[in-house]
Chains A and B, each alone.
Chain A
Amino acid sequence: MNLILFTFIVLLGFTSYYFGRKKAYTIQYTKKRLTALPQFYGYYLAIWCAIPAFIIFSLWAIFEPTIVKLLILSDYSNQGYLDNELNLIYEKTKSLSRGQFTGEITPFIEASAKKYINLRSIAQSSKVVIVLSAIIASGAYAYKRISSNSRTREPVEKFLKAVLFTASLAAILTTVGIIFSLIFQTIDFFKVIPLFDFVFGTHWYPAKAFVRDSSEALDPSMYSDTFGAVPIFAGTFFIAFIAMCVAIPIGLMSGIYLAEYASVKVRQYAKPLIEILAGIPTVVYGFFAALTVGPFLKEIGNSMGLDVSAESALAAGGVMGIMIIPFISSLSDDVITSVPQSLRDGSYAMGATKSETIKKVIFPAALPGIVGSILLGVSRAIGETMIVVMASGLAANLTLNPLESTSTITAQIVVILIGDQAFGDPKTQAAFALGMSLFLVTLCLNIVALRVVKKYREKYE
């Protein structure tokens, strides 16, 4: 039914476009001057016919289920049912009305199923009536406007501009969505676990929170010493640090080489090849780290008499570093090429060699941009998930030994949320709290980095 109505609205929009345009031609035929090109008459009529109907249609689709549910469940109010039970009753009603119910049918449920079918049919028919009358009313209004040859281009363009503006709000909506999805769970989490325990506690053992019987009331004392995030934060920064130890020297040096030394030909081939590293999906890096690098490091360590875990922080961090090389190299390449040639010429004129020029003149001049690119790299390293999930340990382990396994914020979020989640459980909420801290940290890094890079660009452009 919905599909038919929707198709009808769309088809109506198209036909009314041709209808409106034709009307414009008839007006032209009577030797009157048109106020706009004929297609604008078509657009005008189409917008007026389809858009109000479409808005009513979508609002209806959004609110109908909620209202029907409220009406059905109003029969059961004041009878002391819990929310869960009410939901169950509603689900039973729905499946009974579709004839798919297989359990015991009580007279109550049967009555509400009848009411449900009744309500649905009323809703369906009134929806069709209202949508159709909206089409007729707005269509007639628009038709009258174009018949009297009033302006059509301006309203159409205004409408288009409004559509463009709404689309540009998508970015803000996404950010708002992220904050909303994180904040409520996080607040609930901190109602149970004090913020202080989360930020300064040193034991992370969320599996313990899962042993709880769901009928029991929440008892905060149960969770003391369970959600201390220090090992997680430490592990995150530690692995990111290892990654940057790999990525900064290699990325920066290759960026400098590509920008200052490489011939056109080398640059033409080497740059895209290095950038392939950035296009490889992270799950592939994770597999590589877990299957090849981890066991390889373990073997080397064992031959030197060291005890290396197969899931060491070194393996995960090292592979993550490889992944970040292209970010740093191409960003610093850009930054260095945008340093004005006059600085180089001045330095050469003083007799400096190329490397001296780079080290003493270009590098300091490009430093803000390079710092920005490194910060962006750090933000990527902190937010990277799959490599850590697959190649580093999943147990939180407060250590600074790169040969042991540690865990990160992202890995913990995945561990907690993989499989079925129960919202309202402190364990699930903990994942959202971790997500919130991840979002805030990367947000700060990104804003600082983007600002630094932007300032730098403005300086030389």
Chain B
Amino acid sequence: MNKKKEQLLNKRYKAEKRFRLYGQSAIFMALLFLIIFIFKIFSTGYSAFQKTWLIVPVTFDAELMMLEQNPSKEDLKDADYYDIALKSMADLDPNANENQENELKRMVSYFFEREIKRELLNDPSLIGKTKDVYLTASDDLDQVFKGNYPRDLPEDQRRVTDYQLKIFDQLVELGKVESKFNLSFFTYPDSREAELAGIASSFMGSIFSILVCLMIAFPVAVLAAIYLEEFAPKNRFTDFIEVNINNLAAVPSIVFGLLGLGILLAVFQLPRSTPLVGGITLSLMTLPTIIIACRASLKAVPPSIREAALAMGASKMQTTMHHTVPLSMPGTLSGTIIGLAQALGETAPLILIGMVAFVNTIPGSPLDPAASLPVQIYIWAESAERGFVEKVSACIMVLLGFLIIMNLFAQIIRHKFEKKWS
């Protein structure tokens, strides 16, 4: 009898342990996913912050550049750099035939002409002399140098030819290949060529959209929250507004994209693909988030504050505007930042309003066509070229960096400035 009881007890204790283990493994799994995830992004992305340069001797031959004696600055700007650029690449292998010269040219980006031009404009005394110039390597060679490219594939299955590899290896041996910090990733707009593609255009697009979103969503949401929390009578209409807000917070983001497309673009005829429309669409999405955060922090202000102000003869409006709202601001602001962080990572609605268009200029205002960082991730992820994989990961790192900064900022505001009542 006693033994049976003990067995039963053991069984129950074992079940207890097992249940606990399930819980622990669930948490472990969730954290494991997070770690794999971050590790994967970092391990594929960190190399994008380095860029491979070929150091090529360039002879600034005045005759080939169609320059006359003592050229002015204007002449230098208009000069023909293509021939000397081509020649300096061809000179890498004196025995190259025409086909091979073409392959040599494709070892660098199509910006090579501009890079040589910039060199001469910086130092006009170079005319007639020879200088080693840094040229951006093509994305395939860039990947080869970083060790991401499978060199053992048969030649017809890779985009780098054996000949290019041979010359490249010679350059590496001579120390003429260098890897430096990839500044152009941050300063160049998007490009079809992976080695020249940067996030400047999409970054500005994101900034403009978020600013538009902030300027619309924050005032409207705060005013709405003040009304609902402090002034609204308890009736059906108020309930209806509340149901609407709670529901909007859970509507799929793509539906907001359809709203932007069907109303903002089709009815109001706002310009397509612009951060203005993107920002308005995102602001409608963030509105409920901010309203809910603001109401929560208004609710957290203890009634004694209101009662004290009213007792001193302040009107309801004065009480609210002078006392309740300022006290609720830390919570509201951190809620707003979290809402904006969500909006910053949003992709689907922006795709629908046309912010996926290929933009190779840096937008100067919210009315210029632009992409945004998450959309840029999508565009690059859909490109087949190998060079874009690391760019996507690097872009994700930039985006996640921003999100982390924004969330930290929200935390700091909340902990530093929020008053604890109790």
Q: Which residues of B contact A384 (CB under 8 A)?
A: 252
Q: Is the CB of A161 within 8 A of B231?
A: yes
Q: How far is the CB of B65 from chain A (nearest CB, A)?
A: 35
Q: Check A284 for interface membership: any CB of B closer than 8 A.
A: yes
Contacting pair B258 A435 (CB below 8 A): yes
Question: Contact partner of A254 among B19, B30, B375, B403, CB < 8 A?
Answer: B30
Cα-based distance from A438 to B225 in the complex (angstroms): 28
Task: Kindly state whether residue A57 has any CB partner on chain B within 8 Å.
Answer: no
Interchain CB contact under 8 A, B356 and A167: no
Q: Which of B50-58, B110-118, B187-195, B237-245 contacts A (4 or more CB under 8 A)?
A: B237-245
Chain A residues, CB < 8 A from B157? none
A423 at the interface (CB under 8 A from B): yes
Q: Is the CB of B26 within 8 A of A417?
A: no
Tell me if B16 is interfacial: C-beta within 8 Å of chain A. Answer: yes
Is there contact, CB below 8 Å, between A390 and B378? Answer: yes
Question: Pick the contact of A177 from B40, B245, B259 — CB < 8 Å?
Answer: B259
With contacts A160-B317, A253-B22, A254-B26 taken as known, whether A282 is within 8 angstroms of B345 at the C-beta atoms is yes
Q: CB distance B30 to A283 under 8 Å?
A: no
Give the interface segment out of A119-127, A337-345, A375-383.
Answer: A375-383
Considering the complex, give the chain B residue whose CB is closest to the CB of A257.
Answer: B23
Give residues 163-199 of A contacting B (CB, 8 Å).
Answer: 163-165, 167-172, 174-175, 177-178, 180-182, 184-185
Q: Measured between alpha carbons, how far is A419 from B254 in the docked complex, in Å?
A: 15
CA distance A167 to B230 in the complex (A): 14
The verdict on A279 contacting B261 (CB below 8 Å), with A171-B241, A438-B255 known, is no
A-contact 0/1 string along B37-80, CB 8 Å cutoff: 10011001000000000000000000000000000000000000
B223–A168 CB distance below 8 A: yes
Q: Is the beta-carbon distance between A439 and B247 smaller than 8 angstroms?
A: no
Evaluate whether A277 and B33 lie within 8 angstroms (CB atoms) in the complex, with A164-B227, A257-B26 already known.
yes
Interface: B20 (CB within 8 A)? yes
Which of B135-143, B347-355, B361-369 faces chain A?
B347-355
Shortest B212–chain A CB gap in Å is 15
Q: Which residue of A165, A182, A359 has the most chain B CB atoms within 10 A of its CB atom? A: A165
The contact of B374 among A161, A283, A356, A435, by CB within 8 Å, is: A283
- B26 near A282: Cβ-Cβ < 8 Å: no
A418 at the interface (CB under 8 A from B): yes
Residues from chain A with Cβ under 8 Å of B26 in the complex: 249-254, 257
Q: Which of B33, B348, B396 contacts A414 (CB 8 A)?
A: B348
Residues 190-228 of chain B, each 1 if its beta carbon lies under 8 Å from chain A, else 0:
000000000000000000000000000001110110111
**Complex partner residue of B30 from A161, A163, A329, A382, CB under 8 angstroms:** A329
Which A residues are CB-close (under 8 A) to B403? 279-281
Chain B residue contacts of A280, Cβ below 8 A: 37, 345, 400, 403
A292-B40, A435-B255 given; A414·B351 CB < 8 A = yes
Q: Does B399 contact A (CB under 8 A)?
A: yes
Q: How many residues of A contact B (CB 8 A)?
A: 90
Chain B residues with CB under 8 A of A258? 27
Q: How far is the CB of B22 from chain A (nearest CB, A)?
A: 5
Contacts of A274 in B (CB 8 A): 27, 30-31, 34
Known contacts A413-B254, A432-B262: A157-B33 contact under CB 8 Å: no
Contacts of A359 in B (CB 8 A): 19
* B-side interface mostly: helix
CB pair A250–B250 under 8 Å, yes or no, is: no
Residues of A within 8 Å of B296, CB to CB, are: none
Give the residues from 353 to 382 in chain A that come closer than 8 angstroms, CB to CB, to chain B.
353-356, 358-359, 376, 379-380, 382
Residues of B within 8 A of A222 (CB): none
Instruction: List chain B residues, Cβ under 8 A from A277.
Output: 30, 33-34
Say yes or no: A283-B345 contact (C-beta < 8 A), given A161-B231, A175-B244, A288-B41.
yes
Smallest CB gap from B13: residue in A:
A353
The total number of A-B Cβ pairs within 8 Å is 262
CA distance A418 to B352 in the complex (A): 6
B247 engages A447 (CB within 8 Å): yes
Q: Does chain B have a CB within 8 A of A142? A: no
Please name all residues of chain B whose beta carbon is closer than 8 Å to the beta carbon of A413 when the two chains form the complex.
254, 257-258, 352
Chain A positions within 8 Å of B89 at CB level:
none
Q: Do A257 and B255 form a contact, CB below 8 Å, given A329-B30, A386-B378?
A: no
Q: How far is the CB of B19 from chain A (nearest CB, A)?
A: 4
* Cross-interface CB contact of B266 among A165, A423, A443, cutoff 8 Å: A423
Within 8 A of B (CB), among A437-457: 438-439, 442-443, 446-447, 449-450
Interface size on B, residues (CB 8 A): 86
Is B377 in the interface zone, CB < 8 Å from A? yes
Give, as a whole number of angstroms, the nearest-CB distance from A373 to chain B: 12
B244 with A354: CB separation less than 8 A: no
Q: Which residues of A contact B20 (CB under 8 A)?
A: 257, 261, 354-355
- Selected from B16, B23, B347, the residue in CB contact (under 8 A) with A256 is B23
Q: Is B412 part of the contact surface with A, judged by Cβ < 8 Å? A: no
Of the candidates B16, B19, B245, which one forms a contact with A171 in the assembled complex, judged by CB atoms under 8 Å apart?
B245
B407 at the interface (CB under 8 A from A): yes
Q: Does A2 contact B (CB under 8 A)?
A: no
Contact of B347 (CB < 8 Å), options: A182, A279, A283, A353: A283
Does B341 touch A at the CB level, under 8 Å? yes
Residues of A within 8 A of B246 (CB): 446, 450
Residues of B within 8 A of A414 (CB): 254, 348, 351-352
Contact with B along A6-25 (1 / 0, CB 8 A): 00000000000000000000
Q: List 30 A-B contacts (CB under 8 A).
A: A164-B231, A168-B228, A170-B221, A171-B245, A174-B248, A175-B248, A180-B263, A181-B258, A181-B262, A250-B26, A256-B23, A257-B26, A261-B23, A270-B31, A282-B345, A283-B377, A287-B392, A287-B393, A288-B40, A325-B33, A329-B30, A353-B13, A353-B15, A353-B16, A379-B252, A414-B254, A438-B254, A442-B255, A446-B246, A449-B250
8 extra interchain contacts, Cβ-Cβ under 8 A, other than A157-B316, A170-B287, A249-B26?
Answer: A182-B262, A185-B262, A251-B30, A270-B31, A288-B37, A380-B250, A382-B252, A417-B257
Query: B residues within 8 Å of A by Cβ?
Result: 12-13, 15-16, 18-20, 22-27, 29-31, 33-34, 37, 40-41, 44, 219-221, 223-224, 226-228, 231-232, 240-241, 243-248, 250-259, 261-263, 266, 284, 287-288, 291, 315-317, 321, 341-342, 344-348, 351-352, 356, 374-375, 377-378, 381-382, 389, 392-393, 396, 399-400, 403, 407
